[in-house]
Chains A and B, each alone.
Chain A
Amino acid sequence: MTTLTTTTEDHRIALLAALAITIHIAESALPSPLPGIKPGLANIVTIAALCIYGLRTAAWVLMLRVLAGSLLLGTFLSPTFALSFTGALASLLILGLARLVPGQSFGPVGYSVLAAMAHMAGQFTAAYWLFIPHPALLHLFPILMTAAVVFGVVSGIIVAAMLKHIQ
């Protein structure tokens, strides 16, 4: 019988993903003023993972959070999941691109704002194309993006403060 060997990185990813899932679920209990607007505090874990361990770990943590979070909340393969998944892919893409910028000049706040905006834009595009292709929906887009920028800055500052504390 073969035993499943796990590496330190696996443990680290599992730990961070568990943390992100917990925040994700706690946050799902908060009421939302508009569908699509939520603080996205689980983003904090992704950005912190990105800053400390790199894109690979961050990608694992993010995708595991979306997958396991949806299983626990009962939204797996539902429209909510599709939106969440698209948003996560979009923010990974933009974070990957931001990592390619020479000099590694971005800090947690920059990454967080980029990720929040990409998440919102990806999610919105999916909502528009897949579920509600009505022009009236477009009116929501600026409001949603404003929320994304605000929450992106806030969680970015939380990550920055957190990293400073860890150092």
Chain B
Amino acid sequence: MRSQLITHADWLVIITAIALLPWLYATFWGSDGGAGDEVHIMVDGKELPAISLKQDQTLTIQGTIGPSILKIADGGVRFISSPCQGQQCVHSGWHYHSGEFTACLPNRIALQVTGGTARYDTFNY
């Protein structure tokens, strides 16, 4: 046994461990930042067919308390307006990345950007 509280090898372990952490955050929090290619919208627990982010459009989704307007442009999606009080969904802004999620809870509308893998729900010609 040694009298030192923390040995040199211990410091090496601690420093390596601490250096590893930012890498973990970058890998697990940043990697799914790949551009999404479609948006899944849930209305009152029911999922609508996936909508491509490649085609710019404005959608009006009927929620439980009124219509929410979504805008799809430049491969992203956002709430333009919603009949809710807090407007968090509108303030959450644009969502471009696969895995991003936002919701208007009062109006029971949730959306999630997905993509990366080839999953076709519809074909449009």
Chain A residues packing against B (C-beta within 8 Å) = 51-52, 101, 105-110, 113-114, 117, 135-136, 138-139, 141-142, 145-146, 149, 152-153, 156-157, 160-161, 163-164, 167
Determine which of A110, A139, A145, A164 lies in contact with B7 in the assembled complex, contact meaning CB atoms within 8 Å: A110
Inter-chain CA distance A142–B28, complex, in Å, is: 7
**Is B3's CB under 8 angstroms from A110's CB?**
no
**Is B3's CB under 8 angstroms from A153's CB?**
no
| A119 → chain B closest CB, angstroms | 13
**What are the residues of chain A within 8 A of B24 when measuring CB–CB?**
141-142, 145
| A26 → chain B closest CB, angstroms | 26
**Is A110's CB under 8 angstroms from B10's CB?**
yes
- Chain B at the A interface: SS class: helix
- B1-38 interface bits toward A, Cβ cutoff 8 Å, 1 = contact, 0 = none: 11111111110111001101100110111001000000
**Is B5's CB under 8 angstroms from A160's CB?**
yes
**Is A107's CB under 8 angstroms from B28's CB?**
no
Determine which of A101, A135, A149 lies in contact with B99 in the assembled complex, contact meaning CB atoms within 8 Å: A135
**Is A107's CB under 8 angstroms from B21's CB?**
no
Report the nearest B residue to A152, measured CB to CB.
B17
**Is A107's CB under 8 angstroms from B9's CB?**
yes
**Is A110's CB under 8 angstroms from B13's CB?**
yes
Inter-chain CA distance A156–B11, complex, in Å, is: 12
Report the nearest A residue to B8, measured CB to CB.
A105
**Is B32's CB under 8 angstroms from A135's CB?**
yes
